Structure 1
Amino acid sequence: MRPVIHILVIVFWVLSASQAICDVYSWTDENGIRHFSNVSSPYGKKATQIPESVSSVIDKSNFLVTKVFDGDTVQVQGRELEFRIRMVAIDAPETGGSKKNGQPYSQRAKEALTQLIQGKKVRLKQYGTGGYNRVLAEIFSQDVNINLVMVRRGLAEVYRGRLPESLDFGSYEKAEAAARRRRAGMWSLGKAYKSPKTWRKENPR
């Protein structure tokens, strides 16, 4: 009975009514973290495949934010799952990891996001799975869109890449334009500002 419950939980999680349904794979790594992928499971990992025919639903459950990695990536826990969220539509300054110096305002972005949601229950609006098998989502705390908050504060820019068609892209563009006008956060750097996307190209892992 327990495996069936797990499968139902996964189905409830990885699909969203706002996007096309596709085959999804789920597996647990050696650290006990549940991963999702719309491609396949990694070599040597036993995965549960969720077929395309499964009806999509919107997940309105609350999840606890257990860790903030940087200004746009967090880990959440709930419903017997623990996994990472890549905050959709935004791109925060890169921290650089343990071996490199990060971008200006990268630590401020991390600190701000930590203050906003660390240890709190949040609601997620999913948009599928992104790189490194992270769930793409908007994060809501007490009905406040935290993704937009980070952009409004000048601690993240609008993601310069492909975005889900169902996303309200206009609200993010307006938030960034307003932050630029106010020279909020990282926009105070003026010509010295460098997009996280550009920084990643110049500083490959």
Structure 2
Amino acid sequence: MNKRMLTAMLTALLLLSGCSQPLMSPATSNQDTATTVTSPDKTNSKQTTYPTDDLNLPRVPVELVKSIDGDTISVMFEGKKENVRMLLIDTPETSHPKLGVQPFGPEAKSYTKELVEQAKKLELEFDIGPNRDKYSRLLAYVYADGKMVQESLLEQGLARVAYIYPPNTRYVDKFDDLQRISRNKAIGIWSVENYAQEDGFHPEEHEGATGSNSTSTTASKVPTEKPQKQQQGCNIKGNINSKGEKIYHTPDSPYYERTKQEQWFCSEKEAVQAGFRAPLK
């Protein structure tokens, strides 16, 4: 009996050890699969994503007639020549009857012209709201070889987010972020403090920053103790813009190179004591 029992126990142990090996395999396999699936999610979590990234909305192919301005083009749409106003952005003017040519307007116009004229495929994407504005222009997102022109202009600092009229606001969150990046880099329209504002563009700020709009009124506001020459170690620029605002710029300021100094300061404390303030962030 003892031998039979010993034989039975050994047989049972062998069977259990043989069955236990396959039970580990699915668990190991599932763990490997989970790692493979979640790895892209971890990568994407480091990047900014938007609900509109994977919409795959229909686009209408059009033929370019001409580029009119930074934010306006003319195309052949449904057999007719139509002007297209790009949704959610605004670029400085180049031929406005009242505003004339605004700073960075020619740059924006040239940039858009190059994008749309060199594109092999030009497409329009409409939002869910009205397709036309009060001037009967088409309202759309414009794509040149698959790249949205509005995004490119915002990335280059040649446009501001504007004319946000619901429900035509599909990409406004993404546009706001692109604008914020360009503004932080102080490129294009953001290279001059207060030039691009919520209510439009202010050329007088650009002129004040570059010193091209010096007037007797502005000059009279400059302190009489202004040094005629830059003193050694005094590299903070004091500027008085067209509104009479006294602003100082340190070498770290994104507007430093573009600023026409009207007074040099040796320290920020000295600038503040003279009535100047730091640039707005």
Aligning the two structures, in what range does the TM-score lie when normalised by the shorter sequence? 0.5 to 0.7
Question: In the alignment, what sits opposite 2:156?
Answer: 153
Q: State how many pairs are aligned.
A: 143
Q: Once the two structures are superposed, what CA deviation does each residue of 1:8-31 show, in whole Å capped at 9, x if it has no partner?
A: xxxxxxxxxxxxxxxxxxxxxxxx
Alpha-carbon distance in structure 1 between the residues aligned to 2:135 and 2:199: 16
Q: For residues 198 and 142 of structure 1, do their structure 2 counterparts lie closer, same or farther at Cα, with a shift above 3 Å needed?
A: closer
In the alignment, the residues of structure 2 paired with residue 118 and residue 197 of structure 1 have an alpha-carbon distance, to the nearest angstrom, of 31
Amino acid at match of 1:122: L
Task: State yes or no: 1:169 paired with 2:168.
Answer: no
What SS does the aligned partner of 1:139 have? strand
The 8 Å contact of residues 189 and 196 in structure 2, kept in 1 or not, is answered as: no
Shift of 1:186: 1.0
Q: 1:167 to 1:122 in 2, by over 3 A?
A: same
Q: Do the aligned residues in 1 keep the contact of 2:69 with 2:109 (CA within 8 Å)?
A: yes
TM-score by length of 1: 0.62
Equivalent residues of 1:122, 1:141 under 8 A apart: yes
For residues 132-151 of structure 1, the aligned pairs below 5 Å read 132-151=135-154
Distance 2:58 2:80 in 1: 13
Q: Is the 8 A contact 1:89 1:163 kept in 2?
A: no
Q: Which has the larger radius of gyration?
A: 2
Q: How much has 1:70 moved relative to structure 2?
A: 0.9
1:190 matched to which residue of 2? 193
Instruction: Give the corresponding residue for 2:85.
Output: 86
Q: Which residue of the partner structure matches residue 203 of structure 1?
A: none
8 Å CA contact 2:162, 2:198 repeated in 1:
no
Query: Residue 88 of structure 2 contacts residue 169 of structure 2 at CA under 8 Å; is this kept in 1?
Result: no
Q: CA deviation at 1:196?
A: 8.1
In structure 2, what is the equivalent of residue 124 of structure 1?
A: 124
Equivalent-residue separation in structure 1 for 2:162 and 2:142 (angstroms): 16
Distance, in Å, in 2 between the alignment partners of 1:172 and 1:77 is: 27
- Tell me, in whole angstroms, the C-alpha distance in 2 between the residues paired with 1:180 and 1:68: 26
Q: Matched residue of 2:112: which SS?
A: helix
Cα pair 1:92 1:196 within 8 Å, conserved: no
- The structure where helix makes up a greater share of residues is 2
Confirm or deny: 8 A CA contact 1:65 1:76 kept in the other structure: yes
* Secondary structure of the corresponding residue to residue 133 of structure 1: coil
More strand as a share of residues: 1
Counterpart-to-counterpart distance in 2, 1:183 and 1:129: 33
Tell me the amino acid that sits aligned with residue 155 of structure 2.
R
| Cα distance in structure 1, aligned partners of 2:164 and 2:64 | 26
Aligned counterpart, 1:28: none
Q: Distance in 2 between matches of 1:165 and 1:112?
A: 25
Contact 1:93 1:195 in 2 (8 A): no
- The TM-score, its normalising length taken from structure 2, stands at 0.46
Q: Give the 5 Å matches for 1:81-120.
A: 81-97=80-96, 101-118=100-117, 120=119
Taking a change above 3 Å as real, the CA distance of residues 170 and 199 of structure 1, as seen in their structure-2 partners, is closer
Q: Which has the higher contact order (CA 8 A, sep 6+)?
A: 1
Query: Which range moved further: 159-168 or 114-123?
Result: 159-168
Identity, % of aligned pairs? 25
Aligned AA (2:190): W
1:60 deviates by 3.1
Extract unaligned runs of 5+ from structure 2. 1-56, 203-281
1:130 positional shift: 1.3
